[in-house]
Structure 1
Amino acid sequence: MAVSDFTDWLGVFCAPGIALFVKRLSGNDTLANGAHQAGPYIPKDFLFRIFPMINRTDEKNPDHRFELAVDSHMDAREVRVIYYNSKRHEGKPNGRDETRLTNFGGSASALLDPESTGALAVFAFPLDENGTATSCHVWVCRHETEEDIAEERFGPIEPGRFLMWSPAQPGLFPPYAAGRASCWLEPAEIPPAWLTQFPTGVEIVRKTVELRPEHGTPPDKRLLRRRECEFEIFRSVEEATELPAIMAGFATLDGFISRAQTILQRRKARSGRSLELHTREILIEERFREGADFEHGPQSEPGKRPDFLFPSQAAYRDPNFPAARLRMLATKTTCRDRWRQVLNEADRIPVKHLLTLQEGVSEAQFREMTQAKVQLVVPEPLIGKFPASIRADIQTLESFMGDLRLLAVAS
């Protein structure tokens, strides 16, 4: 199918009477990490809402069968939604209380194929007059272009997050999509200047560090906890600044479209730079001196700007400085298609270190990265979502910084 088919598909299924669920497939969703989960994780509250017949505890493990078509890969089959309810049905303290979609046929389905790990997937459930799902159509994005098309429609979808929408609960962030964390700012807590001029990414990260200093927490966990906090701050400021205008309505369609585009572009900009800004902050906290031990946003060669160079741009450009003591670090929230972008960012440095938050890659893709001399750097709490066979070859952020310290000592 051509890319334009996905645009047409979105036009058909992003419509009234259809409930949507959008996420990036993790290594636990696919068969990449060998966990052999029954199928992609979809929250229980969402499935109860569109399959009310399984929301019961008087029967053990109630289920329902329906037709599911993965339109992106021309695959259709009957699948099952099941509520594993032993915790509530039988009163077992350690019992299960979760829903699953099953019967996908193993890796023959694009939803379970290890090569789909990290892909953005859109689930569309047509609803009957009672709000019950009658079937499901799925599109698993096959490459970066399709993901860009989806994120133009939905905004950025980051690993570990998901978006839910239904006609009965309009809006991209229904209340049950994500609970408010303690970093959520009420309007009175938001700096007044932010209400008239939306804060920059640097300002939001600075506020995040204020609310989540996390001194003494390992860098990997600190990074993930601050990312969660920063997302809540961003969302709270966005709601405080944009919701009043939305509730007031728009005099023209162009005015509505312009406002929506501004919001989506701001979300994409925030998602694109967030990991980079948090990494810089943690490097400084770990006593790496900016300008002496690392440089943020330098120019390696004309037109090439890696996110970080170690120890500096000046050292990189000095032909007498040993190339073996140079390092670079790229930061990309997802890396399924985007990892190749780092290959030419610093010609003098053969091994490119890439920090990502993607929740798994397939063994085949990891081999391809390794052959291209890309070294994955992943926060320690996420490594368990990667195949067991490659976990030992993935660096944590803390171990990467440890290597930098050893280089400095050796010099």
Structure 2
Amino acid sequence: MAVGELVEWLEEHGAPGFTWYVKRLSGNDTLANGSHQAGPYIPRDFLFEIFPALNRREVKNPDVRFNLYLDSHSDHREVRAIWYNNRFHDTAAARGRDETRVTGFGGGASALLDPESTGALAVFAFSRPPAEIADCHVWVCRHETEEEIVEDRVGPVEPGKYLIWPPAQGGLFGLPAQTPVRTSCWLDDAEIPAEWRVCFPSGADIIRRAVELRPDTALDPDRRLLRRRECEFEIFRSVEQAIELPHITAGFTTIDAFITRAQTILQRRKARSGHSLELHARAIFVEERLVEGTHFVHQPESEPGKRPDFLFPSAAAYHDGSFPRERLRMLAVKTTCRDRWRQILNEADHIPAKHLLTLQEGVSESQFREMTQAGVQLVVPAGLFEKFPKPVQPHLQTLESFISDVRLLPLGAR
């Protein structure tokens, strides 16, 4: 299908009466890691809202059948939403199941379960006609251009996260209508610096605050990275709400003013998503006693017009023809890599083996083989290994291992 058909699909299924659930498909959602629970995860409370008949605690394992149209791949199936509530019915199952699943997709024949869809952005558009069971229209993005079109509308969607559109409890652009209960890094109004209200803080400013709130220096780099990313996201959303919510609740006098504000919010979110992981990695390198300019350099020019995220040990070593090539390393950083990994192949021509740090929750075995054959080594936080197919897991490198590798590289030419 042409890109224009996705635009038309978004317009048709973005009309009043539709509620979107948007996520990136993980290895647990698809068949990539061999999970016996294959099928996209959809939160229980969301399914209860869409299918009230599912929320029947007095019934053991209640279910609802509904029509699911996978419009991106011209596929239609009757699927089943079920609440496994054994915990409340079996006296011997104090730790029994209490979760919802959607089943009946037909195995690998469905693009939703196809291992090659791992990492893809998927939009589930639920409609709920009066007095009828909702049906669901789905679009699984097949390439980066389609993902950009979706994210231009709803904002960035990161691995392991999901969003509901429009928000169920009011508030525009995904902003909560009320301040949520503070967990760890959400900033109260009094904690937000005055200068941040005048000029939205840079990604580096927010990450510095995340490091203050989550120093975690006793943790390995992998766990530190994942915890700080969560913390940074909370900080960002709390500042976003403090700045934007007053403008939203005050209303707009023109449609153009509304659109301008919305675009500002969406673009800021995309900018944050695009650079966050890179800045976190840089901070951790420094904490791990890698000296910038001596052991690594951030966004140097490797060749005219080419700027890899990180070179090791330095740009000078990279451009020194006498420096052994086997002592050079390049690290690219991409939150998702399903389509984007090919972009790094032309970076740092002198380094055939490319390292790629990602937070994507799994890849298919065939895509991993393609990456490996192209000389790409995936660097993945240890806590995400289980999201990958078992045959792939032994070939992943942790961030801690990568840092140990570059720390041991001799810095001299000979």
Pairwise TM-score range, normalised by the shorter structure: over 0.9
Name the residue aligned to 2:12: 12
Name the residue aligned to 1:359: 361
Check conservation: 1:61, 1:84, Cα contact below 8 A.
Answer: yes
The alpha-carbon deviation at position 57 of structure 1 amounts to 1.7
Name the residue aligned to 1:102: 103
Show the 5 A alignment for 1:78-227.
78-91=78-91, 92-129=93-130, 133-166=133-166, 169-170=169-170, 171=172, 172-173=174-175, 180-227=182-229
Structure 1 pair 168/216, CA: closer, same or farther in 2 (3 Å)?
closer
Three-state SS of the structure 1 residue aligned to 2:136 is: strand
Q: Is 2:241 the counterpart of 1:242?
A: no
Name the residue aligned to 1:381: 383
Check conservation: 1:82, 1:100, Cα contact below 8 A.
Answer: yes
The alpha-carbon deviation at position 169 of structure 1 amounts to 3.2
Check conservation: 2:362, 2:388, Cα contact below 8 A.
Answer: yes
Distance in 1 (alpha carbons) for counterparts of 2:388 and 2:144 = 21
Show the 5 A alignment for 1:39-78.
39-78=39-78
Name the residue aligned to 2:332: 330
Distance in 2 (alpha carbons) for counterparts of 1:174 and 1:165 = 12
Percent identity of equivalent pairs: 67
Distance in 2 (alpha carbons) for counterparts of 1:197 and 1:164 = 28
The alpha-carbon deviation at position 83 of structure 1 amounts to 0.4
Three-state SS of the structure 2 residue aligned to 1:287 is: coil
Distance in 2 (alpha carbons) for counterparts of 1:225 and 1:168 = 27
The alpha-carbon deviation at position 127 of structure 1 amounts to 1.0
Check conservation: 2:87, 2:95, Cα contact below 8 A.
Answer: yes
Name the residue aligned to 1:372: 374
Q: What's the TM-score once normalised by structure 2's chain length?
A: 0.96
**Alignment-mate amino acid for residue 272 of structure 2:** R
The alpha-carbon deviation at position 154 of structure 1 amounts to 0.6
Structure 1 pair 175/95, CA: closer, same or farther in 2 (3 Å)?
farther
Unaligned runs of 5+ in 1: none
Select 2:406's aligned residue among 393, 400, 404.
404
Distance in 1 (alpha carbons) for counterparts of 2:374 and 2:348 = 14
Matched pairs, number:
409
Name the residue aligned to 1:296: 298
Distance in 2 (alpha carbons) for counterparts of 1:167 and 1:44 = 16
The alpha-carbon deviation at position 165 of structure 1 amounts to 2.8
**Alignment-mate amino acid for residue 138 of structure 1:** V
Structure 1 pair 324/196, CA: closer, same or farther in 2 (3 Å)?
same
Check conservation: 1:165, 1:174, Cα contact below 8 A.
Answer: no
**Alignment-mate amino acid for residue 218 of structure 2:** G
Distance in 1 (alpha carbons) for counterparts of 2:185 and 2:113 = 35
**Alignment-mate amino acid for residue 375 of structure 2:** K
Check conservation: 1:107, 1:114, Cα contact below 8 A.
Answer: yes
Unaligned runs of 5+ in 2: none
Distance in 1 (alpha carbons) for counterparts of 2:201 and 2:409 = 37
Distance in 2 (alpha carbons) for counterparts of 1:53 and 1:287 = 57
Structure 1 pair 194/184, CA: closer, same or farther in 2 (3 Å)?
same
Question: Could you give the per-residue CA deviations for residues 321-344 of structure 1, whole angstroms, max 9, x where no partner exists?
Answer: 111100010000000000000001
The alpha-carbon deviation at position 167 of structure 1 amounts to 7.5
The alpha-carbon deviation at position 88 of structure 1 amounts to 1.7
**Alignment-mate amino acid for residue 399 of structure 1:** S
Distance in 2 (alpha carbons) for counterparts of 1:165 and 1:99 = 20
Check conservation: 1:17, 1:167, Cα contact below 8 A.
Answer: no
Question: Could you give the per-residue CA deviations for residues 209-247 of structure 1, whole angstroms, max 9, x where no partner exists?
Answer: 000000110100000000000000000000000000111
Q: What's the TM-score once normalised by structure 1's chain length?
A: 0.97
* Runs (4+) off by over 6 Å: none
The alpha-carbon deviation at position 89 of structure 1 amounts to 2.6
Three-state SS of the structure 2 residue aligned to 1:80 is: strand
